[in-house]
Amino acid sequence: MIKYDYLNTEVLLVTGIIYVFLALSIAKLGTYKTCGGWRAFVVSFILTPIVGIIYVSLCPVKSILKIIHYRCNHCGLEYTTEHKYCPSCLKEGNKYKLQRISMKTY
């Protein structure tokens, strides 16, 4: 008669969940690097998470450019310089405040 040990199954399940969680955490760190999230996940899942951390730490950081625009909700025009009111709408005699839009690009 085969005796089934539930303790071993629970330990394996918890260990597997922790292993996948660590691999996903390393993949999240890899999204900010040039290696990318998927590659960091595969490396840390197939090899160990320790190798994944070393791999991600050796990859250079992506260059991030932060662009700020100002958009008028009335006419839809965008400006790169800050104005209190939309210059185009001011010519027509209307005062509409510009909405600040912040974008990040790689």
Contacts of 81 (CB under 8 A, 6+ apart): 70
Q: Is the pLDDT of residue 65 over 90?
A: no
Residues in the chain: 106
pLDDT of 61 > 70? The answer is yes
Domain assignment of residue 1, yes or no: no
Taking only the tens place, the pLDDT of each residue in 46-58 is 999 999 999 999 9
Cβ atoms 103, 69 nearer than 8 A = yes
Three-class SS of 44-56: HHHCCHHHHHHHH
Task: Tell whether 69 and 43 lie within a shared domain.
Answer: no
Specify whether 52 is located in the same domain as 82: no
Q: Are 96 and 89 in contact (CB under 8 A)?
A: yes
Is the domain of 53 the same as that of 72? no
Q: Give the pLDDT score at 17.
A: 95
**What's the CA gap between 86 and 82, in Å, rounded?**
9
pLDDT digits (tens, 9 = 90+) for 2-41: 566 666 788 888 999 999 999 999 999 999 899 999 999 9
Q: Which of 43, 58, 73 is the last residue of a domain?
A: 58
Of residues 65, 64, 67, the one with CA closest to residue 101: 67
d(CA 24, CA 56) in angstroms, rounded, equals 12
With contact defined as beta carbons under 8 Å apart, do 44 and 53 qualify?
yes
User: Domain total for the chain?
Assistant: 2
